[in-house]
């Protein structure tokens, strides 16, 4: 008998995305959706796909995802964001892992998955946005969420490196510029609210030169310019996000002072 699979998703007001990701994994043995207070149809959509919905106040990005892992009961866990989607190629590879066929020629407890990031509907193939591998598939109990909010990531408990599958997750991120700017504004604020975040002095290096270096590195050296107008906008505004993080750290100290 093949191993079983749990899907772990955390969500808040994701009615525009949730149906798509759940449709791509409806073949899984268990779907767990941890909702932190949605006021739209998120929970209804999840139940329509047979998901187990648990209401839990927001614990932060890493805390909420670790809580979702604790609720999963199957042999393997695939952690997904609500705006992601499992491609048919990736679904087939995961089935091979569950069947024990060891698609990459060995026995592993976890696998990284390449991610296709869409910006304004265009796949960002350059500038560091692909293959963008993420550890998302692992045996239950062998990995955990860590990192500094809002930039969480999964790591293996053992610290071992994980091979990369070939099939991709499709990340339907930022279909509009307004949504992107709203997210980056929120993320830069969250980055300065995590425990241990400290005010920073005003720094030309951090607020001006570092964002500029980020743009030059990703847009030119990592060939982001090959992604056309969308690539230009993405890397220009991402550099702005870097500046916002450090400017808000300075503002925090200014207010405290």
Paired with 222 in beta bridges are none
Residue 102's pLDDT is what?
Answer: 66
Task: Please determine, for residue 7, whether its predicted confidence score (pLDDT) is greater than 90.
Answer: yes
As a whole number, mean pLDDT of residues 103-107 equals: 65
Task: Please determine, for residue 222, whether its predicted confidence score (pLDDT) is greater than 70.
Answer: yes
Cα–Cα nearest to 134, from 158, 110, 98: 110
What are the helix and strand counts (H, E) for the chain?
8, 12
Is pLDDT larger for residue 257 or for residue 132? Answer: 132
Mean pLDDT lowest among 101-110, 137-146, 221-230:
101-110
- The CATH fold of domain 5-171: Spore Coat Polysaccharide Biosynthesis Protein SpsA; Chain A (3.90.550)
Domain ranges of the chain: 5-171, 177-256
As a whole number, mean pLDDT of residues 62-84 equals: 98
Task: Please determine, for residue 255, whether its predicted confidence score (pLDDT) is greater than 90.
Answer: no
Residue 103's pLDDT is what?
Answer: 61
Residue 55, Cβ density class (10 Å: 0-12 exposed, 13-18 middle, ≥19 buried)? exposed
pLDDT tens digits for range 174-198: 999 999 999 999 999 999 998 888 8
Mean pLDDT across the chain, nearest whole number? 95
Residue 2 CB neighbours (<10 A): 14
Give the strands of the sheet with 52-55, arranged side by side: 52-55, 30-35, 5-11, 76-81, 134-139, 110-113
For a pLDDT cut of 90, what percent of the chain falls above it?
Answer: 90
Task: Please determine, for residue 105, whether its predicted confidence score (pLDDT) is greater than 80.
Answer: no
Measured between its terminal Cα atoms, the distance across the chain in Å is 63
Q: Which runs of consecutive H residues, i.e. helices, occur in 192-227?
A: 204, 210-216
Task: Please determine, for residue 104, whether its predicted confidence score (pLDDT) is greater than 80.
Answer: no
Residue 84's pLDDT is what?
Answer: 98
Task: Please determine, for residue 244, whether its predicted confidence score (pLDDT) is greater than 70.
Answer: yes
User: Residue 253's pLDDT band (boundaries 50, 70, 90)?
Assistant: confident
> Could you say which DSSP state residue 32 is in?
E
User: Residue 107's pLDDT band (boundaries 50, 70, 90)?
Assistant: confident
């Amino acid at each position: 008998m093949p191993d079983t699979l749990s899907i772990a998703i955390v969500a808040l007001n994701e009615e525009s995305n949730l149906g798509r990701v759940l449709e791509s994994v409806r073949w899984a043995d268990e779907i767990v959706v941890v909702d932190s207070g949605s006021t739209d149809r998120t929970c209804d959509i999840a139940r329509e796909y047979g998901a187990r919905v648990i209401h839990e106040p927001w614990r932060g990005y890493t805390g909420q995802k670790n809580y979702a892992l604790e609720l999963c009961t199957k042999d393997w866990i695939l952690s997904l964001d609500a705006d992601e989607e499992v491609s048919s190629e990736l679904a087939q590879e995961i089935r091979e892992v569950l069947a024990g066929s060891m698609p990459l020629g060995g026995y592993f407890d976890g696998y990284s998955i390449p991610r296709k990031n869409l910006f304004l509907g265009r796949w960002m193939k350059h500038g560091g946005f692909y293959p963008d591998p993420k550890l998302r598939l692992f045996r239950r109990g062998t990995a955990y969420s860590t990192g500094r909010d809002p930039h969480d990531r999964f790591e293996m408990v053992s610290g071992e490196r994980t091979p990369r599958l070939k099939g991709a997750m499709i990340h339907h991120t930022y279909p509009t510029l307004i949504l992107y700017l709203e997210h980056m504004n929120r993320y830069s604020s969250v980055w300065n609210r995590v425990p241990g975040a400290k005010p920073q002095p005003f720094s030309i290096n951090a607020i001006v030169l570092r964002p500029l270096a980020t743009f030059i590195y990703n847009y030119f050296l990592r060939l982001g310019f090959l992604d056309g107008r969308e690539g230009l906008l993405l890397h220009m505004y991402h550099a702005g996000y870097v500046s916002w993080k450090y400017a808000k750290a300075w503002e925090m100290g200014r207010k405290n002072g």
